[in-house]
Amino acid sequence: MTVAVFTFVLLLGNVLNEILALMVSGQATLGGLAGAIGLLVPFVLVFALPMGMLTAALLVFGRFSADQELTAVRASGISLVALITPILLLSLLLCGVSAWINMDVAPRCRVAYKQLIAQMSAKVTGAGLPEEVYDKDVPHYMFYIGRNDGKLLKNVTICHIDKNDSIDSKIDAESGEIVHTNGTVYVNLYNLISWDRMDSGSWRQGTNSFGQLELKPNESHALDDKPQVSDMTFRQLQEQLRELNRAFSLPHQANVKPADLHKELRQLNEMKKDVTTVVLVQMHRQVACAFACFGFTLVGIPLGIRAHRRETNIGIVMALILVLIYYSFMIIAQSLQTHPELTPYLIFWLPNFLFQIVGAAMLWRVNKGV
């Protein structure tokens, strides 16, 4: 029941945020609304499952302790660990279900949901350049667009790929725009920093206030079917990471001094970290979030026994506080994905270790009667 309640609440937030406006404007039908909600269920279920397990553990064991039933169980010779073992096994099973949903089902449903919303709103992304996508489908180029509202671009990264399938130049621009002129698509870039690999193997850095890139019509739509990094399945993320590692591998160069080769390798690795960290953040997020059910259950059981209150409001408040603490780490890690030097993908594992260690310690103390 608690899982159903949280699923409904999370679905309601997404429906009010994106679909309600389409319903009011007449762009969405009831059938489209039902389809969109169905596609959102797996996406919100990975959050509703651990929240439901935590709330249920707090309420059930809080009432269990308040009614002195725990004392009766112990008097019968049954330890607390033996009593909660089936619940912990259930939470581990739900971790497996969450991993499957988070790593495969939810990303696919999220992509289908966005496509459905785009069809209902008749929104077309300008020049076939979707947000948060590293892609090599455009010949000789690899793009990353931080934000794209159909014309204006933010946080643009463009890498040129040479005949050896390696990066020989890279451009980072603060902003850009899509311009259509006589059937040709241009990408105008503003406030950019460029890196070009010299014949000696070293990299030359330059800055400019303006730059322009031409995209042929048949090339500008090559990215349409590529999902965002945040909407990729785990296998797609693995393939994306392999492509990036290949693109930033050091090509064979004859007659290059060891000092120059070491300098080029160091510069290439620094640029590779910038683009691979975003992919690693999503991979670790999908795996780490799957363990939330076990950590929440491990904390919720002893905390519910300690609180031993009959009021359900207290249990719900404690559950919300713990949920905020857990997912605040996720938000921080996600916000730091553009700072590879901080290894933000490791932050996803901190709440799991924290909740499991604290939960195991609290459970040991409650079992010993301390």
Last residue within a domain, chosen from 196, 223, 250: 223
Query: Is residue 248 included in any domain, yes or no?
Result: no
Same domain, 355 and 295: yes
Query: Is residue 257 included in any domain, yes or no?
Result: no
Strand pairing of 141-148 and 167-181?
unpaired
Distance CA 88, CA 77 (A): 20
User: Torsion over CA of 356, 8, 121 and 335, rounded to 10 degrees?
Assistant: -20
| pLDDT at res. 20 | 66
The CATH number for 136's domain is 2.60.450
Same domain, 62 and 96: yes
Cβ distance 333 to 347 under 8 Å? yes
Residues whose CB falls within 8 Å of the CB of residue 152, separated by 6 or more in sequence, listed in order: 175, 176, 177
Same domain, 206 and 131: yes
Same domain, 338 and 299: yes
Same domain, 24 and 110: yes
| pLDDT at res. 122 | 43
For the chain, what is the HEC assignment? Answer: CHHHHHHHHHHHHHHHHHHHHHHHHCCCCHHHHHHHHHHHHHHHHHHHHHHHHHHHHHHHHHHHHHCCHHHHHHHCCCCHHHHHHHHHHHHHHHHHHHHHHHHHHHHHHHHHHHHHHHHHHCCCCHHHCCCCCCECCCCCEEEEEEEECCCEEEEEEEEEECCCCCEEEEEEEEEEEEEEECCEEEEEEEEEEEEEECCCCCEEEEEEEEEEEEECHHHHCCCCCCCCHHHCCHHHHHHHHHHHHHHCCCCCCCCCCHHHHHHHHHHHHHHHHHHHHHHHHHHHHHHHHHHHHHHHHHHHHHHHHHHCCCCHHHHHHHHHHHHHHHHHHHHHHHHCCCCHHHCHHHHHHHHHHHHHHHHHHHHHHHHHCC
Give the closest residue to 286 by CA, choosing from 336, 226, 349, 332.
349
| pLDDT at res. 254 | 46
Same domain, 190 and 296: no
| pLDDT at res. 216 | 57
| pLDDT at res. 223 | 45
Same domain, 55 and 7: yes
| pLDDT at res. 309 | 53
Same domain, 18 and 71: yes
Local confidence pLDDT in tens for the 370 residues of the chain: 677 777 777 777 666 666 666 666 555 667 777 787 788 888 888 888 888 888 888 888 888 877 778 778 777 878 888 888 999 999 999 999 999 999 999 898 888 887 777 666 543 334 455 666 665 556 677 878 888 766 678 888 888 887 777 788 888 899 888 776 665 677 889 999 988 887 776 788 888 888 888 765 444 444 445 677 888 899 989 888 888 877 766 554 445 455 555 565 666 667 777 778 888 999 999 999 999 999 999 988 888 887 755 555 666 677 788 888 998 998 998 888 888 888 899 999 999 999 999 888 888 888 776 5
Last residue within a domain, chosen from 175, 204, 223: 223
Domain extent at residue 193: 126-223
Query: Is residue 9 included in any domain, yes or no?
Result: yes
| pLDDT at res. 121 | 56
